[in-house]
Amino acid sequence: MKKFYLLLACAGFSLAAFAGNPDRQGEAGATQLLMNPWAPSAGLHSLGTSYVTGVEAMRLNPAGVSRFAGTQVMLGYANYLQGTDISMQAIGVTAQAGKNGAFGFSVMSLDFGDIPITTTEQPEGTGALLNLSFINVGLTYSHQFENRVSVGITLRGVSESTSDVSSFGFAIDAGVQYVTGPEDAFKFGLSLRNVGSRMAYGGQGLATTADNPDNSADYKLTYAQRAAGFEMPSMLNIGASYDFLTHLEDQRVTLVGNFTANSFSRDQVGAGVEYAFREQFLARVGYRTDLDAADESEGASADESPLYDGISAGASVRVPFQRGDTDRRFSVDYAYRSTRIYGGTHNVGLSLSF
**Which of residues 6 and 151 earns the better pLDDT score?**
151
Using alpha carbons, select from 141, 131, 82 the residue that is nearest to residue 106. 141
Task: Give pLDDT, residue 23.
Answer: 64
In whole angstroms, give the CA distance from residue 18 to residue 5. 20
Q: Is 57 helix (H, G, I), strand (E, B) or coil?
A: helix
What's CA 207's distance to the chain center, in Å? 34
Where exactly are the structural domains of the chain? 2-206+229-353
Task: Give pLDDT, residue 86.
Answer: 95
In whole angstroms, give the CA distance from residue 283 to residue 273. 8
Q: Report whether pLDDT(12) > 50.
A: no
pLDDT tens per residue, range 140-199: 999 999 878 999 999 999 999 998 899 999 999 999 999 998 888 999 999 999 999 899
In whole angstroms, give the CA distance from residue 296 to residue 305. 8
Q: Report whether pLDDT(19) > 60.
A: no
For the chain, the 3-state helix, strand and coil shares in percent, each to the nearest 5, are 15, 50, 35
How far is CA 292 from each of CA 19, 153, 160, 219, rounded to the nearest angstrom?
13, 31, 32, 57
State the CB neighbour count (10 A cutoff) for residue 348. 17
Type of residue found at 321: F
Task: Tell me the mean pLDDT in the region 266-278.
Answer: 94
pLDDT class for 125, splitting at 50, 70, 90? Answer: confident
CATH number among 1.10.10.60, 2.70.150.10, 2.60.40.420, 2.40.160.60, domain 2-206+229-353: 2.40.160.60
Task: Give pLDDT, residue 315.
Answer: 98
Residues 6+ apart with CB under 8 A from 186: 179, 180, 240, 241, 242, 243
Task: Give pLDDT, residue 135.
Answer: 97
Q: Report whether pLDDT(17) > 70.
A: no
Q: Is 127 helix (H, G, I), strand (E, B) or coil?
A: coil
Q: Report whether pLDDT(133) > 80.
A: yes
Using alpha carbons, select from 171, 169, 140 the residue that is nearest to residue 154. 140
In whole angstroms, give the CA distance from residue 30 to residue 191. 19
Using alpha carbons, select from 141, 252, 238, 236 the residue that is nearest to residue 192. 236
pLDDT tens per residue, range 91-119: 999 999 988 999 999 999 999 998 898 98
CB of 257 within 8 A of CB of 189? no
pLDDT tens per residue, range 201-244: 999 888 888 888 887 778 888 888 888 899 999 999 999 999 99
Type of residue found at 343: G
* pTM for the full predicted model: 0.88
pLDDT class for 301, splitting at 50, 70, 90? Answer: low
Looking at every residue in the chain, the average pLDDT score rounds to 88
pLDDT class for 56, splitting at 50, 70, 90? Answer: very high
**Which of residues 227 and 284 earns the better pLDDT score?**
284
The most distant pair of C-alpha atoms in the chain lies apart, rounded to whole Å, by 90
pLDDT class for 350, splitting at 50, 70, 90? Answer: very high
Type of residue found at 167: S
Please give the helix or strand (H or E) that residue 5 lies within, else none: helix 2-17
Task: Give pLDDT, residue 20.
Answer: 53
In whole angstroms, give the CA distance from residue 293 to residue 249. 42
pLDDT class for 259, splitting at 50, 70, 90? Answer: very high
CB of 28 within 8 A of CB of 231? yes
How far is CA 339 from each of CA 72, 85, 163, 286, 307, rounded to the nearest angstrom?
30, 15, 31, 13, 6
